[in-house]
Amino acid sequence: MNKGAKIGIATVCTALVGVAGFGAYNVYDAMTGNEAKTPKVRTVVAEAPSADLAAAGAKAFLEAWAKGDLEAAGALTDKPDTAIAALKAFKDKVNPSAVTLTPGGTPAASPSPSASASASAKASPSASASAPVGTEVPLSFRAKVEFAGTANAWNYEGRLGLVKMSDGKAAVHWTPGVVHPKLDTGESIAVKPVFAEPTMVLDRNGKPLNFPSLTPALMAKFKQNASGAPEDAGTGVVITKDDGSGTPDKLFTITDPKPLPSLKLTLDGKLQAEAEKAVAAASKGGTLPASLVAVEPSTGNVLAFANAPAGGQNRAFLAAIAPGSTMKVITAAALLEAGVKPDDVLPCPATLSVAGQTFKNDFTEPHEDWKFSQDLAQSCNTALIKKGLEVLKSGDMEALAKDAFGIGPTWKTGMLLAPAKAPAPSGDNQRAAQLIGQGSITMNALTMASISATVQSGTFRQPILVPGSEQQKADKTLSPATLKGLQAMMNLTATSGTAAGPMSGITAGAGAKTGTAQVNGQADDNSWFTAYRGNLAVAAEVGGGGHGAAAAGPAAALVLKVGNG
C-alpha cells in the first residue's frame, strides 16, 4: 500500500476537468459511479480525521498528483482552485519528466517548537493559510522528481496536513508548503539558470576578506554578482520572491554550472580592518548605529565599508538620513558656481528668520566680519542660508548635487543601495533647511564619501565594489575656479575649522567637513564627517553621536591616517 505512484507528469487526465469547483465530494461520486445530482460545498470541521482516514486522503492526493491528474489532486484538498493552480505551476515551471510520491508517517521533526500548531502550518510559514488549531493530522511523504536528459533526481521530504471535511472525508489542507516545505505565499518555484559560487572572496590585493561587517548575506550578494556568462550556467530548482526581492533559494542542482574562480572585490583588507575598528569605537561597541565608507577618488572603487552593529543592516549603503552640515560642501559649490568668492564677506548672524522659522548656529555669538571661507570652516548656518536664498534660485543647489555629484539617480554599486535624495524644495522654509542638509535631503555614508571623492578629484566617479563594473557618469564637472575654491575652503575647515581636531596631523592635501543633524524625536543629534586626503575619501556617521567632530570625525580620521598606498 505504500508503494509510490510513478508516471510521466506530462500525461494529464481530462476525465475530471471542471471538477474542482464541485469539491472532492463529487470526485468521490464520479470514482464510485454514483451520479452527483447537485454540487455540494465542503468545509473544514473542528474535528481531526482518524489516522486511517487521514492516511487514505493523503494516499489519494499523492497518487493523483504523481499521475499528473492535477484537477483530481486539487479536488482532494480544502482549496481546490488554489491547489490546482499551484500544482499546474509546479508542472509548467519545474517541468519534471516523472514524479514519484511515497506516503510516509508522522513527520519525525517539526520546524516549530509550538505543540499546538499543526505540522502543515509549521512546514509553511504562512499563518493565514493555517487550518483551525488541532484539526490537522500531520503526515509526511517522500518525493522523487526526475528530469529529462540527466540521471540526477531530486529527493526531498514533503509534509501534508489532513483535515476532516463536512462530508466526513479527509482532505489535504492546502498551503504553498504542500509543494515543498520551503515554499511560502508570495513565492514561486521553478527551474532557472544557476551559477557556481566563487571559491573565495578576495580584496584588491588578492587576500581573503573575513570581517564582521561583511556578513554572510553581503558576501553572498558579492558572489551572486560574480555570475559567469550564460554558457557557464547550469540549471537548478530555485525558490524566488514574486516581488523580486531577496536572493533565490536554490533547492537542487539539475545540471552543474562551470566552476568560477575566486571573486576579487575593490575592497582593501588593510583599510577594511581599520574601518571595522573605527566604527566599533565610534559606536561605543555597537550600542549606537554607525557606518563608515572609504572610496578611491581616482576610480570610484569602494575600499572599505563597516557598520555597527556588526552583522546587522548594511547601514553604509542602506541608510537614508539627513546629512546635516556635510551637505554644505554642495551648498558651497553652488554658491561658488553662482559667483560668490571664498574671500567675500558673508556676515554670520546669531539667528535668521525665514518665512516665520528661526535658524540658529551651534554657537550663539554673531560674526559680522566672517568671510565665506570662514563661514564654511566654522559651519555657520545663517550665513549660508542667507546668501543661498539671495543668489541661488529654488532648486539650484539640488540640481548641482545631481549634475556634478551624481546625487539622485540610482547607482549600480553591486549591492542593494538606498539612493540619496535631494529633491527640489517646495518653499522657502524647505529651501533654507536643505541648504544646511536638513529638510527632505537624505544621504548615507557611501554618498558622502563619494561627495568628498568628487571634490578631491574634480570628477564624479560612481562608487563600485566589483572591478570593471559599469559606472554612471555625472552630467557636468565643477568649473576649475569652483573646484579650487572648494578644495581651499575644505582644507581651511580641516586645519582651523570645526574638523581641525580629528584632522590634526593629516591636513596636507586634505579637506574635511563636519555635520550635526537634528532628528525629530531623537534626544541626541547624529554625528557626520566627510573628508579626503590624497587618493582616499572617507565618510562616517554615528546615530546619536552628537557633534560631527566628536564621534564620526575620529572614526574617519583613523582610516585616513592609514592612507591609500
Q: pLDDT digit string (tens) for 44-87?
A: 999 999 999 999 999 999 999 999 999 999 999 999 999 999 99
Instruction: Give, as one character, the DSSP assignment of residue 247.
Output: -
Mean predicted lDDT score pLDDT of the chain: 88
Question: Starting at the edge strand that comes first in sequence, how are the strands of the sheet with 249-255 ordered?
Answer: 187-194, 234-241, 249-255
Does 287 fall in a domain? yes
Q: Pick the last residue of a domain from 209, 238, 264.
A: 264
What is the distance of C-alpha 284 from the center of its chain? 25
Instruction: Give, as one character, the DSSP assignment of residue 357.
Output: E
Same domain, yes or no, for 413 and 459?
yes
Specify the pLDDT at position 406: 97
Q: Pick the last residue of a domain from 246, 264, 282.
A: 264
Most confidently modeled range among 396-410, 414-428, 516-530? 396-410
Q: How many CB atoms lie within 10 A of CB 38?
A: 6
Specify the pLDDT at position 231: 79
pLDDT digits (tens, 9 = 90+) for 103-149: 998 775 544 333 333 333 333 333 334 555 568 999 999 999 999 99
Same domain, yes or no, for 346 and 412?
yes
Sort strands 201-202 and 263-264 into parallel, antiparallel or unpaired: parallel
pLDDT digits (tens, 9 = 90+) for 338-362: 999 999 999 999 999 999 999 999 9
Does 119 fall in a domain? no
What is the chain's length? Answer: 565
Specify the pLDDT at position 23: 40
* Residue 517: CA count within 13 A, CB half-sphere: 30
Q: Is residue 434's pLDDT more than 70?
A: yes
Q: Is residue 518's pLDDT more than 90?
A: no
Specify the pLDDT at position 217: 60
Does 186 fall in a domain? no
Q: Which residues contact 134 (CB under 8 A, 6 or more apart)?
A: 46, 48, 116, 118
Same domain, yes or no, for 226 and 160?
no
Specify the pLDDT at position 134: 60
CA distance 290 to 268: 20
pLDDT digits (tens, 9 = 90+) for 363-372: 999 999 999 9
- For cell 506516503, name the residue: 103
Return phi, psi of residue 153, to 5°: -115, 140
**CA-only gyration radius of the chain, Å:** 31
Same domain, yes or no, for 68 and 208?
no
Same domain, yes or no, for 258 and 310?
no
Q: Is residue 207's pLDDT more than 80?
A: yes
Specify the pLDDT at position 492: 98
pTM: 0.67
Specify the pLDDT at position 228: 62
Specify the pLDDT at position 213: 78
Same domain, yes or no, for 219 and 79?
no
pLDDT band at 565 (very low <50, low <70, confident <90, very high): confident
Same domain, yes or no, for 250 and 291?
no
Q: Which three cell numbers stand for residue 21?
A: 469547483
pLDDT band at 428 (very low <50, low <70, confident <90, very high): very high
In the chain, the number of structural domains is 3
Question: What is the CATH classification number for the domain harbouring 82?
Answer: 3.10.450
Using alpha carbons, select from 43, 36, 1 the residue that is nearest to residue 19: 36
pLDDT digits (tens, 9 = 90+) for 454-501: 999 999 999 999 898 999 999 999 999 999 999 999 999 999 999 999
The least confident of 96-100, 235-239, 260-264, 441-445 is 260-264
Host domain of residue 68: 5-111+124-146+153-179
The proportion of the chain whose per-residue pLDDT surpasses 90, expressed as a percent, equals 74
The answer to whether the beta carbons of residues 259 and 234 sit under 8 Å apart is no
Q: Which three cell numbers stand for residue 513?
A: 567637513
pLDDT digits (tens, 9 = 90+) for 7-55: 343 333 333 333 333 344 344 444 444 544 555 788 999 999 999 999 9
Where is 385: in which H helix or E strand?
helix 381-391
Same domain, yes or no, for 201 and 137?
no
Specify the pLDDT at position 38: 54
pLDDT band at 225 (very low <50, low <70, confident <90, very high): low
Specify the pLDDT at position 195: 84
CA distance 209 to 287: 25
Strand partners, 103: 141
Look at the alpha carbons of 553, 536, 408, 435 in this order and tell me if their dihedral is positive or negative: positive
Residue 176 buriedness (CB in 10 A; 0-12 / 13-18 / 19+): buried
